[in-house]
Homo-oligomer: A and B are copies of this chain.
Amino acid sequence: MAAGETKEAIWHGGDLATAKALFPQAPKPWIDLSTGINPIPYPLPELPLSLWQRLPGKTDEAALLAAARKAYRIRPQSGLVAAPGTQILIELLPRLVPAAKVAVLGPTYGEHAPAWRKAGATVREIGDLAEIGDANVVVLVNPNNPDGRVVPQETLVELAAALAARGGFLVVDEAFADFVPKMSLLPILPEGAVVLRSFGKAYGLAGLRLGFAVGEARCIDALQAMLGPWAVAGPALHVGAVALDDADWLSKAGEARAADSTRLDTLLTPHGRVVGGTVLYRLLQTPQAPALFERLGRAGIYVRRFQHDPSRLRFGLPGDEAAWPRLAQALMSD
C-alpha cells in the first residue's frame, strides 16, 4: 500500500480498520491504544425503545442540559448547547467569525486549524501564547492533547478579554478536563470565551456522539441555530443525562484510570521519556518511535503517531487484563 493512500487516516488514529490494513498479519484481537478514550465505558443504562422511535423530546434535552450544567459547574448566565459530538461544534464555530485571524496553540488536536481554514480564516499555529499577534481568535486544548500541557485560568481570563475587545473569542477545548475538574474554566467562564466539552472520552462512549459548547448566549444561540432541533439522538440524550448525573462513577473512574496511567508509565519508561499526557493517554518521546510503532503494529497493538514529530507516540490505556502483558511483551521484544 502506498504511504499516501492512508496517510490522513493513519495520522488521525482511532480508525482500527486502517491499522488492520497496515498490518494484515498482526495477531488478533487488535489492541487499540490509538485514542484517548476511556477503555472502561460508563455502563449503558437500559434504553427504552421509545428513545429510538420518537423524535428526541424537549424534556429529554432539558434533563441532559441540567445534568451537564451540574457536572461541568456551568455558570447560570452561560449559554449551553448540546451537539452530536464536539467535532461538529469545531466545524461550525468558525462560521461565526467571518475572515477570522486565528492562532492555534499547538501542536494539538489536528481538527481545529482545518475547520477554521475551511471557513475562510487565516490560521497560524503558535507554540506560545506570547505569539498571538493580531489574532482575534485563539484556540487551545486544555489540558492539551497530546502533551497534557495546562494553561492557567488567569491567563485564559486575560486572553478572553483581549480577544473579546478585538471582536473575536477564545476557544478552550476541554475534551480531557473531566478528570481534572479544578482546571476547568467553566465555573468562572469570562466573556469572550467558548468552552467545548466532549462526553465520549471520559465516559468511554465516543460512538454515542455527544458534545457541548458553553459561552455567551449570542454565540451559543448561533450554534444552536445551525444545528437545529433534534441534532442529538434520543439514546445519547438519555445516556448523557444519566452518566453526567453520576459524580460517583466519574470520581472512581478517575482514580482507576490514574492507576492505569501510572502502570502504563512503568511499562513505557524503559523505552523512552514520558513527556506528558493525561490520565487517559501518555506521550512517549524516543528516537525509536517509528520502529516502535511498526513493532507494536506487527504485534496487533495500534498507537498514535504524529506527523509533526516522528519521535513521539501517544499511548491510550489498555482496557482489559489480557492487553497489559501483550503490550509489555511487544514493547520488550526488540
Contact = CB atoms under 8 A, between A and B. Distances in A.
A50 B204 CA distance: 10
Contacts of A58: 9, 15, 17-18
What is the oligomeric copy number? 2
A53 interface: yes
Contacts of A59: 15, 17
A98 to B, nearest CB: 11
Interface in A1-51: 9, 14-18, 32, 35, 37, 39, 41, 44, 49-51
Given A37-B54, A44-B49, A57-B15, A230 B91 contact: no
A56 interface: yes
Interface stretch (A158-166, A221-229, A263-271): A221-229
Contacts of A207: 50-56, 233-235
A209 interface: yes
Contact of A231 (B37, B115, B209): B209
Interface in A90-136: 90-92, 95, 111, 115, 118
Given A85-B230, A231-B85, A233-B209, A44 B52 contact: yes
Given A52-B44, A207-B56, A229 B87 contact: yes
A87 B231 contact: yes
Interface string A66-99: 0000000000000000001101101110010000
Nearest to A50: B207
A209 B230 contact: yes
Contacts of A44: 49, 52
A284 interface: no
Contacts of A232: 84, 209
Interface of A: 9, 14-18, 32, 35, 37, 39, 41, 44, 49-59, 84-85, 87-88, 90-92, 95, 111, 115, 118, 200, 204-209, 225-236
15 contacts: A9-B58, A15-B57, A15-B58, A15-B59, A16-B57, A37-B54, A44-B52, A52-B207, A52-B208, A56-B207, A87-B228, A87-B231, A88-B231, A90-B228, A207-B234
